[in-house]
Amino acid sequence: MWIDTDFGLTEGDVGFVVRNVYPYRDRKDVCFMQASPARTNMSNDPRAEGWCGSTNNVSRYAEGVGRVMRVTKRGDRALVQRLRGSEARDAYMAMGHPDLADEDPMVRKDG
């Protein structure tokens, strides 16, 4: 998926993918990557995947972890691939959120 970026992502960067959904017809969903997981807006719990809540009619969804595969020449867009299986589990561990790996359906369940 292509995401918006304004903070200098480079190829190989790994982070948490977040999607904002706007109810307005002229706005499309906006996806971006951040260093920390999306959090629910009521309990403030980190979330690996799924709906996190709505504020001002804008819904926020956690979309798992991804790796930047390519960045546009202008640097304003990046192609991100969703990580799966043990690669996703390793990313959660490296970013300090091993508990979220069990919530992500893209992580292969061991055993």
Q: Can you give the residue ranges of every domain in the chain?
A: 2-99
What pLDDT sits at residue 93?
Answer: 95
- Kindly state the average pLDDT of the residues 74-103: 93
What pLDDT sits at residue 75?
Answer: 84
Q: How far is CA 36 from CA 32, 33, 91, 110, in A?
A: 12, 9, 12, 25
- Per-residue pLDDT of 37-73, as tens digits, reads 999 999 999 999 999 999 988 999 999 999 999 999 8
State how beta strands 77-82 and 58-71 pair. Answer: antiparallel
| Banded pLDDT at 26 (limits 50, 70, 90) | confident
* pLDDT of 108 higher than 90: no
Alpha-carbon span 58 to 71, nearest angstrom: 27
| Banded pLDDT at 111 (limits 50, 70, 90) | very low
Q: How far is CA 104 from CA 16, 46, 59, 110, in A?
A: 12, 12, 19, 13
pTM assigned to the model? 0.88
